[in-house]
């Protein structure tokens, strides 16, 4: 019967697997790493909070696609929490951790990755449902979207807890990996292959949907007299999603490949030399997503800009607009009418007069 090592500290496993825990991270180098990580984590918290607040505040975002986009921002926010915890429990501190604390550290990272991945997969399904019906948004009800969001986090938490639940090497240290010295190599192979396969499936699905949208848009553009901005809206949403997916795949694939090589016990691959850089690349993904949202979606950027720099002016404008007869406001029920009114307000307050087709971004 194999002996289990639940009561050991992490130095026992690191020393046995000869894993480098960066003991040289001291003095100015450690301070630089902490300052760098703190800056990006603060940016992750603030920017993703703005994305969530924008979806809640702007009624034009009250559709399944944007609810799921806000949930993706919540996953990035959670990733920021995971990185903060990692930042203060890595390097020379790693060897002093208990087994449970190390499981918590890695579980937070695994949960954040799974939450983002499953969320992107659900967005792919939502986009497929809407695009194949040639609609901008799907007909998912708020109850179903809420159920999907709860399911996403339930799956993410479960996948993050799998090693803690038993798929580890604490009772068979001969199968321990080097990058994650209490994870079994078989688990690393399973984890990395599963995520890479899902990456591939999503990329294929999004390329297929995008080609379908382009083909349908080109056909319909010559037979319809609708506004150009409305015909381009599905394409714009797809470009936003594909940019987010592309950034996610680029940022996470190198790290997953390194985990796969470690799981396959590749001792000559030099994975210890690149693991920190690939972890930083994964961190940048949570930084990039809010930038992509605001850059690809003008309405999102306009809403975020009002919340950042125009809060006092908005309050003043609301006081002035409250003097307008209510009958005039009540009759402005057409979406385009409200959009023009908001465009005037944004142009007056924020110096961005021509909003073009922000309402359809």
* pLDDT 10s digits, 282-314: 888 888 888 887 777 778 888 888 887 765 455
Q: Using pLDDT thresholds of 50, 70 and 90, give the confidence band for residue 323.
A: very low
> Which pLDDT score is estimated for 295?
75
Q: Is the pLDDT of residue 128 over 80?
A: no
Q: 109-118, 220-229, 275-284: lowest mean pLDDT where?
A: 220-229
Residue keyed to tokens 């109850």: 143
The residues that bridge with 184 in the sheet, in sequence order, are 176
Is pLDDT larger for residue 334 or for residue 1?
A: 1
Query: Do residues 198 and 121 lie in contact, with contact meaning Cβ atoms separated by under 8 Å?
Result: yes
Query: Do residues 149 and 126 lie in contact, with contact meaning Cβ atoms separated by under 8 Å?
Result: no
Residue whose C-alpha is closest to residue 110's, from 36, 31, 168: 168
Q: Using pLDDT thresholds of 50, 70 and 90, give the confidence band for residue 328.
A: very low
* Length of the chain (residues): 361
Residue whose C-alpha is closest to residue 88's, from 32, 34, 42: 34
Q: Is the pLDDT of residue 154 over 60?
A: yes
Between CA 31 and CA 230 the distance in angstroms is 51
> Which pLDDT score is estimated for 73?
92
Give the end-to-end CA distance of the chain in Å, rounded to a whole number: 62
Q: 8-17, 127-136, 164-173, 271-280: lowest mean pLDDT where?
A: 127-136
Q: Is the pLDDT of residue 79 over 70?
A: yes
Is pLDDT larger for residue 20 or for residue 298?
A: 298
The residues that bridge with 176 in the sheet, in sequence order, are 184
CB-based contacts of 169, cutoff 8 Å, min separation 6: 175, 176, 177, 182, 183, 184, 185
Q: 174-178, 228-232, 325-329: lowest mean pLDDT where?
A: 325-329
To 10 degrees, the CA torsion angle through 14, 16, 17, 18? Answer: 70
Is pLDDT larger for residue 348 or for residue 262?
A: 262
What would the two tokens of residue 79 be? 């990733």
Residue 121 backbone phi and psi in degrees, to 5 = -65, -40
Long-range pairs for 25-29: beta carbons < 8 A, 24 or more residues apart: 25/91, 25/92, 26/92
> Which pLDDT score is estimated for 191?
92
* Assigned CATH for 10-221+234-309: 1.20.1070.10
What would the two tokens of residue 321 be? 């607009």
> Which pLDDT score is estimated for 106?
92
> Which pLDDT score is estimated for 197?
92
Mean pLDDT of the chain: 76
């Amino acid at each position: 019967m194999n002996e289990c090592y639940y009561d050991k500290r992490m130095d026992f496993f690191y020393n046995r697997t000869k894993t480098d825990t960066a003991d040289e991270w001291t003095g100015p180098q450690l301070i630089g790493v902490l300052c760098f990580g703190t800056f990006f984590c603060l940016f992750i918290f603030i920017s993703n909070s703005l994305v969530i607040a924008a979806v809640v505040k702007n009624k034009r975002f009250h559709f399944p696609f944007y609810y799921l986009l806000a949930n993706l921002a919540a996953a990035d926010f959670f990733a920021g929490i995971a990185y903060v915890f990692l930042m203060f429990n890595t390097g020379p501190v790693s060897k002093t951790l208990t087994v449970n604390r190390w499981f918590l550290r890695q579980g937070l990272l695994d949960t954040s990755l799974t939450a983002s991945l499953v969320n992107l997969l659900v967005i792919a399904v939502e986009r497929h449902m809407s695009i194949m019906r040639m609609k901008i948004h799907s007909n998912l009800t708020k109850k179903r979207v809420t159920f999907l969001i709860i399911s996403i986090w339930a799956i993410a938490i479960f996948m993050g807890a799998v090693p803690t639940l038993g798929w580890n090497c604490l009772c068979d240290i001969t199968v321990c990996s080097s990058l994650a010295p209490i994870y079994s190599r078989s688990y690393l192979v399973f984890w990395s292959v599963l995520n890479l396969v899902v990456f591939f499936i999503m990329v294929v699905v999004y390329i297929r949907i995008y080609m379908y949208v382009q083909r349908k848009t080109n056909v319909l553009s010559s037979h319809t007299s609708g506004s150009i901005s409305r015909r381009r809206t599905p394409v714009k949403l797809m470009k936003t999603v594909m940019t987010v997916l592309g950034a996610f795949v680029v940022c996470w694939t190198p790290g997953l490949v390194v985990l796969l090589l470690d799981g396959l016990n590749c001792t000559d691959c030099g994975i210890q030399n690149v693991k920190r850089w690939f972890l930083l690349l994964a961190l940048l993904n949570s930084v990039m997503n809010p930038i992509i949202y605001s850059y690809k979606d003008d309405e999102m950027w306009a809403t975020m800009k009002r919340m950042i720099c125009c809060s006092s002016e908005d309050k003043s404008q609301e006081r002035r607009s409250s003097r307008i007869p209510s009958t005039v406001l009540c009759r402005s029920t057409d979406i385009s009418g409200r959009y023009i009114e908001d465009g005037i307000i944004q142009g007056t307050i924020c110096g961005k007069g021509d909003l073009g087709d922000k309402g359809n971004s």
